Structure 1
Amino acid sequence: MPVASPSQQGVDARGVLALLDALQEHPHVDPHSLVVVRHGHVVARGWWAPYAPDQPHLLYSLSKSFTATALGLAVADGTLSLDARLVDALPELAASATSDRARSLTLRHLVGMGSGHLAETWDRAQAADPDEPLRGFLGIEPEREPGTVFAYNQPCTYAVGAAVQRARGETLLGQLGPRLFEPLGVAGTERFGWQQHPRGRDLGFTGLHATTDAVAALGVLLLQRGRWGERQLLPTAWVDEASRAHLPTPHEPEVDWQQGYGFQLWRQRHGFRGDGAYGQFMLVLPEHDAVVAITSDTPDMQAVLDAVWTHLLPALGDDGSGGADADEELAQRLAGLALPPAAGAPEPSDGPTWDGLLLTPSEVLRPGDAALEDVRVERRDGAWWLRVQESAAPEGGQAVATGQQVGAGWRFEVPVVPGEHRLVEAPVPDELGGGAVPLAVSGGWVRAVGGSESLRVEVRFLQTPHRLVVTGESASASVRARWVTPPLRAGSLAELRSPALARQV
Structure 2
Amino acid sequence: MPEPTPLPRCSPEAQGLSSRAVLSWLDALAADDLELHSFMLLRADHVIAEGWWSPYSAARPHHLYSLSKSFTSTAAGCLVADGRLDVDDRVVDHFPESVPDVVGDHLAAMRVRDLLTMRTGHARDVTDALHDAGDGDWVKTFLAQTVEHTPGTHFVYSSAATFMLSALVQRLTGTTLLAFLRERLAPLNFGPAHWIENARGVNLGGWGLHLTTEGIVRFGQLYLNRGHWQGEQVLPAAWVDEATRAHVPPGDEPESDGGDSDWAQGYGYQFWRCRHGAYRADGAFGQFCVVMPRPQAVLAVTAGVGNMQRVLDHTWAHLLAGMGEGPLPTDAASVMLRERCAALSLAVPDIGASWHGTPRDETYRLGANEEGWTTAQLVTDATSCRLTITGPDVQHGIDFGLMAWRENQIDLWGGQEQVLARAGRQPDDTLALTVLLCGPGARWEVTAQHDTLTVYLAPPHHGEGRTVVARLTPAGEEHSQR
TM range (shorter): 0.7 to 0.9
CA distance in 1, matches of 2:379, 2:30: 32
Contact 1:284 1:292 in 2 (8 A): yes
Of 3, 12, 18, which residue of structure 1 is paired with 2:18? 12
Larger displacement relative to structure 2 (194-203 or 126-135): 126-135
What's the CA shift string for 1:382-410, capped at 9, x where partnerless? Answer: xx62x2223243xxxxx3xxxxxxx2x23
2:297 maps to what in 1?
Answer: 290
Distance of 1:138 and 1:74 partners within structure 2: 22
Aligned to 1:198: 199
Hey, what does 2:442 align to over in structure 1?
Answer: 466
Displacement of 1:174 in angstroms is 0.4
Aligned residue type for 1:457: L
The SS at the match of 2:48 is strand
2:407 counterpart letter in structure 1: E
Instruction: Report the CA distance shift for 1:313/1:31 in structure 2 as closer, same or farther (over 3 A).
Output: same
Report if aligned partners of 2:256, 2:263 keep a CA contact under 8 Å in 1: yes
Matches within 5 A, 1:305-320: 305-320=312-327
Pick aligned residue for 2:362 from 357, 365, 368? 357
User: Do the aligned partners of 2:122 and 2:156 also contact (CA within 8 Å) in 1?
Assistant: yes
Deviation at 1:240, TM superposition (A): 0.6
Question: Does the C-alpha gap of structure 1 residues 288 and 137 become closer, same or farther in structure 2, counting only changes over 3 Å?
Answer: same
Q: What is aligned with 1:140?
A: 145
Counterpart in 2 of 1:396?
A: none
**Could you say what secondary structure the match of 2:76 adopts?**
helix
The secondary structure found in structure 2 opposite 1:34 is strand
Structure 1 CA distance, aligned partners of 2:101 and 2:160?
14
* Equivalent of residue 74 in structure 1, options 76, 79, 84: 79
CA deviation map 1:451-471 (0-9, x unaligned): xx7433221122221111113
Deviation at 1:486, TM superposition (A): 3.1
| Further displaced range: 259-268 or 192-201 | 192-201
| Among candidates 330, 335, 340, match of residue 342 of structure 2 | 335
Q: Distance in 2 between matches of 1:119 and 1:127?
A: 16
Structure 1 residue 158, shift from structure 2 partner: 0.5
Distance 1:370 1:481 in 2: 15
CA deviations over 1:77-99 (Å, ceiling 9, x no partner): 11211111111112211236642
Correspondence 1:75-114 to 2 at 5 A: 75-95=80-100, 98-114=103-119
CA distance in 2: counterparts of 1:370 and 1:343, whole angstroms: 29
Residue identity in the other structure for 1:153? S
Report if the CA contact (8 A) 2:216-2:289 is conserved. yes
Partner of 1:167: 172
Whichever residue aligns with residue 6 of structure 1, its letter is P
- Of 478, 481, 484 in structure 1, the residue corresponding to residue 459 of structure 2 is 484
Once the two structures are superposed, residues 227-247 of structure 1 have per-residue CA deviations (whole angstroms, 9 ceiling, x without a partner) of 112111111110110000111
The residue type equivalent to 2:216 in the other structure is V
1:412: which partner in 2? 398
Distance 1:486 1:413, change over 3 A: same
Instruction: Summarize deviations over 1:225-281 as a string: whole Å, max 9, x none.
Output: 111121111111101100001113242245111111000000111310000111100
How many Å apart are 1:116 and its aligned residue? 1.3
Q: Is the 8 A contact 2:444 2:455 kept in 1?
A: no
Q: In the alignment, is residue 423 of structure 1 matched against residue 428 of structure 2?
A: no
Q: Which residue number corresponds to residue 379 of structure 1?
A: 381
TM-score (norm 2): 0.86
- One-letter amino acid of the structure 2 residue matched with residue 251 of structure 1: P
Residue 270 of structure 2 is aligned with which of 264, 271, 286? 264
Instruction: Structure 2 unaligned segments of length 5 or more: list them.
Output: 1-6, 464-482
Contact 1:342/1:444 (<8 A) preserved: no
How far off its partner does 1:115 sit?
A: 0.5
Matches of 1:372 and 1:229, distance apart in 2: 54
Structure 2 counterpart SS, 1:313:
helix
Q: Which whole-Å CA distance do the structure 2 matches of 1:311 and 1:167 have between them?
A: 44
How much does 1:438 deviate? Answer: 4.1
Equivalent position amino acid for 2:461 in 1:
P
Partner Cα distance (2:174, 2:431) in 1:
51
Q: TM-score, normalised by structure 1?
A: 0.83
After superposition, the Cα gap between the structure-2 partners of 1:124 and 1:340, relative to the gap in structure 1 and judged at 3 Å, is closer
1:444 aligns with 2:425: yes
Q: Of residues 48, 69, 75 in structure 2, which corresponds to 1:43?
A: 48
Residue type of the alignment partner of 2:432: R
CA gap 1:455/1:60 in 2 versus in 1, 3 angstroms: same
3-state SS, counterpart of residue 311 of structure 2: helix
CA contact (8 A) 1:245 1:261 kept: yes
Deviation at 1:298, TM superposition (A): 0.9
The more displaced of 1-10 and 193-202 is 1-10
Shift, 1:335, TM fit: 2.3
Q: Kindly report the root-mean-square deviation, in angstroms, between the aligned alpha carbons of the 2 structures.
A: 2.6
Displacement, 1:48?
Answer: 1.4
Q: Is the 8 A contact 1:423 1:438 kept in 2?
A: no
**Alpha-carbon contact 1:357-1:378 (below 8 Å) kept:** no
Secondary structure of the corresponding residue to residue 263 of structure 1: coil
Q: Counterpart of 2:254?
A: 251
Query: How much has 1:478 moved relative to structure 2?
Result: 3.7
Aligned with residue 190 of structure 2, among 186, 189, 204: 186
Contact 2:38 2:301 in 1 (8 A): yes
- Over 3 Å counting, the alpha-carbon distance change for 1:125 and 1:66 in structure 2 is same
C-alpha distance in 2 between matches for 1:197 and 1:340: 34
Contact map agreement 1:341 1:443 (CA 8 A) in 2: no
1:187-224 C-alpha deviation (Å, 9 max, x unpaired): 3x3xx110001232100000000111111011111111
Q: Is the 8 A contact 1:13 1:320 kept in 2?
A: no
What is the distance in 1 between the residues matched to 2:216 and 2:101? 36
Asked whether the equivalents of residues 285 and 461 of structure 2 are also in contact (C-alpha less than 8 Å), the reply is no
SS at match of 2:255: coil
Amino acid of the structure 2 residue aligned with 1:455: L
Q: Which amino acid aligns with 1:277?
A: A
- 1:321, distance to aligned residue in structure 2 (A): 4.1
Give the aligned partner of residue 216 of structure 1: 217
Residues in 2 aligned to 1:179 and 1:97: alpha-carbon distance in whole angstroms:
37
1:388 is matched with: 387
SS at match of 2:337: helix
Question: Partner of 1:134: helix, strand, or coil?
Answer: helix
CA distance in structure 2 between the partners assigned to 1:234 and 1:33 by the alignment:
27
Q: CA deviation at 1:185?
A: 3.6
Task: State the SS of the aligned residue for 2:28.
Answer: helix
* SS at structure 2 position matched to 1:54: coil
* Counterpart residue type for residue 239 of structure 2: W
In structure 2, what residue type is equivalent to 1:338?
Answer: S
Q: Aligned partners of 1:484, 1:443: CA distance in 2, in Å? A: 22
Distance 1:202 1:116 in 2: 23
